[in-house]
Amino acid sequence: MRKLSVAIIGAGPAGIATAVELKTAGIKDIAIFEKAGNFCYTIRRLYPEGKRVDRNYKGINMISEGVCSFETETKEQFLERIEKYIKDYKIEIFYNTEINGLERSGQYYIIKAGTYTVAHAYVVVIATGVFDRPRKPSYPIPEEIKNRVFFELPKELPEGEKILIVGGGNTAAELACILSGKCDVYLSYRRPDFFRINEENLRELEKRKDQITFFLGTEIKALEPEKEAVKVIFHDGHTEVFSKIFYCLGGSTPRNLLEKMGIKFKDSLPDIDEFGESNLERVFLIGDVAVKRGSIIYAFNSAHRAVERILEKYHILFNSSS
């Protein structure tokens, strides 16, 4: 059990950038707790091999505000970049440590994994992301077809199959591009046009427009089992049979966990100020967990803003420990 100036929960881009910013400012007594066995678990798990990691993911050119930044590169190059940050800044990460409790005790917060206290910390930065809980459709998925319905990439991508991808964001677009040419790909989106896809992905979709069937302005009503397949029933009465379905609907904020910790919500998002500080004094939320639609640059910048605030408001508390 450690006494820390800052405990960071989650070793994704937001958590790592927080540690980099704190180390840059000379704060030594910090650690990251990560539930997986490696850093950037969301990226390792959900990005296909060789995926282009876009800097302007949301189609907005965000300026880097802090130490961490990157230009568009592959998944593997991005992970190397993060690994270098961890080495260069000597960031301490406790792996296989899933944090699920936070309690106040005097000046400190007690950080818990199950029933174990893993650390006491003055300041806590929650950077758990949202992708542990993929968003799911409101209609039920019958038991018989659960092995044909995916919310993340399977280890082996399908080949020669008729696939339906559901979603209208960059993840749906990228998956459609990856599978086009290998499978008979259909893309269903409830709106008549794409408006959340960045220019790069729109160009890639355009290049493959003869290989992808677009079902725009379509909404799925129900799924039914069909022999070795899934029958999709759309709201307009149209039905179509697919071998597999991939939902790319994004992730959802771990509201139960955060509320259990005492964090208040407003309009379905944690109620935080412009620096990420929550209603719990000295508890910050940054990266995807704090926002409706995040990106890596947003995660880096929100870490920078939170650390600036931590140093300005709470640095005095660290003097004895750093």
Ligand X SMILES: Cc1cc2nc3c(=O)[nH]c(=O)nc-3n(C[C@H](O)[C@H](O)[C@H](O)COP(=O)(O)OP(=O)(O)OC[C@H]3O[C@@H](n4cnc5c(N)ncnc54)[C@H](O)[C@@H]3O)c2cc1C
Closer Cβ to ligand X, 93 or 229, answer by number: 93
Instruction: For residues 304 and 199, give the distance between their C-alpha atoms in angstroms, rounded to a whole number.
Output: 27
Closer Cβ to ligand X, 66 or 129, answer by number: 129
CB 287 within 8 A of CB 304: no
Residues paired with residue 241 on neighbouring β-strands, in sequence order: 231
Torsion of CA 175, 179, 185, 189, to 10 degrees: 0
Instruction: For residues 179 and 213, give the distance between their C-alpha atoms in angstroms, rounded to a whole number.
Output: 12
Min separation Cβ 125 and ligand X, Å: 11
Using CB under 6 A, list all residues that contact ligand X.
9-15, 33-36, 40-43, 46-47, 53-54, 57, 98-100, 127-129, 131-132, 171, 287-288, 294-297, 299
CA 65 to the chain's CA centroid: 20
Residues paired with residue 284 on neighbouring β-strands, in sequence order: 125, 277
Min separation Cβ 71 and ligand X, Å: 11
Min separation Cβ 60 and ligand X, Å: 10
Closer Cβ to ligand X, 41 or 109, answer by number: 41
Closer Cβ to ligand X, 26 or 114, answer by number: 114
Instruction: Give the phi and the psi of residue 262 in degrees, each rounded to 5.
Output: 105, 10
Min separation Cβ 20 and ligand X, Å: 12
Closest CA relative to residue 11, chosen from 128, 133, 130 = 128
Closer Cβ to ligand X, 12 or 66, answer by number: 12
Min separation Cβ 57 and ligand X, Å: 3
